[in-house]
Amino acid sequence: MQHSSSCDSKNRNVKITIKYDGSNYHGWQVQKNAVSVQETFQNALAKIIGDDIDVKGCSRTDTGVHANMYCIGLKTDHPIPCARLKAALNNHLPLDMAVLDCEDMPLEFHPRYDCKRKQYIYKIWNNEVRDPFMNGYALHYRYRDMDEELLNKAAAHYLGTHDFTSFCTLDNRRIGDMRRTVYLSKVERSGDIVTFTVEADGFLYNMVRIMTGTLLRVAQRKIMPDDIPSIIEKKDRSFAGPTAPACGLYLNKVIY
């Protein structure tokens, strides 16, 4: 669990923006018997400002998921200037993690609750032969049936406000409003890399990975783009495609 027992009496609230290769981590959250991003980050932080730290992340992430941008809220009484904290953290963090920015925020800032939108990307390596440099960084999809136009027709159906129950792994953690508003949903090809970009006011558990798995079913012509609205309507996970593996998924932007 997080070091979150503090009574919020700290006099500083620092937003720390990091980037990390998630290959070696079991997601963000501290857990027993597995190395997490949070634990690794807190260990580096403790070397700089001691271990009286209260750290909160902007989002849970699964094992193997990457982040081009991830925001952390740190409450502390330590007076270290932001520029020095950034440099010191980059000295103490492992090479698969980096601090991009540190910024003092109002005390009431919360990295998760104050987040207005998040953007994820999902990368697919679309070539008969795998790319050794994409191993763990993109899903390898070997078939030449990925029609960009068709996939974009499907992706466009994700736009707007919907109950995304069909695109959520039910895990007992999530109860309540399953509606989310999707602002951006598109597929782009650059050479053999196909990228699905989706931005929303929030995401249900596994939502991007199930959206991606459904797009792969569209590539295979097992689901037609115009089937997507009725899959959403059904509010039943079994109608959507499979959950795509974690390795292709990147938290790309966090917008406050």
Query: What is the binding site for a copy of itself (CB under 8 A)?
Result: 19-21, 66, 90, 95-100, 129-133, 135, 137
CB of residue 7 vs a copy of itself: minimum separation in angstroms? Answer: 34
Contact between 88 and 48 under an 8 Å Cβ cutoff? The reply is yes
Smallest gap from Cβ 242 to a copy of itself, in A, equals: 21
H-helix or E-strand spanning residue 194 = strand 193-200
Query: Of the listed 8, 52, 62, 236, which one is catalytic?
Result: 62
Q: Is 62 a catalytic residue?
A: yes
Cβ contacts of residue 153 below 8 Å, gap of 6+? 225, 226
Q: Minimum Å distance from CB 100 to a copy of itself? A: 6
CA 213 to chain centre: 16
Q: Which is nearer to a copy of itself, 89 or 216 (CB)?
A: 89
What is the 3 state secondary structure string of 129-143? CCCHHHECCEEECCC
Min separation Cβ 27 and a copy of itself, Å: 16
Which is nearer to a copy of itself, 11 or 91 (by Cβ)?
A: 91
Beta-carbon count within 10 A of 19 CB:
17
- Residue 10 or 92: the one with the smaller Cβ distance to a copy of itself is 92
Q: What's the one-letter identity of residue 170? A: L
Of residues 39 and 163, the one with the C-beta less far from a copy of itself: 39
Provide the annotated active-site residues. 62
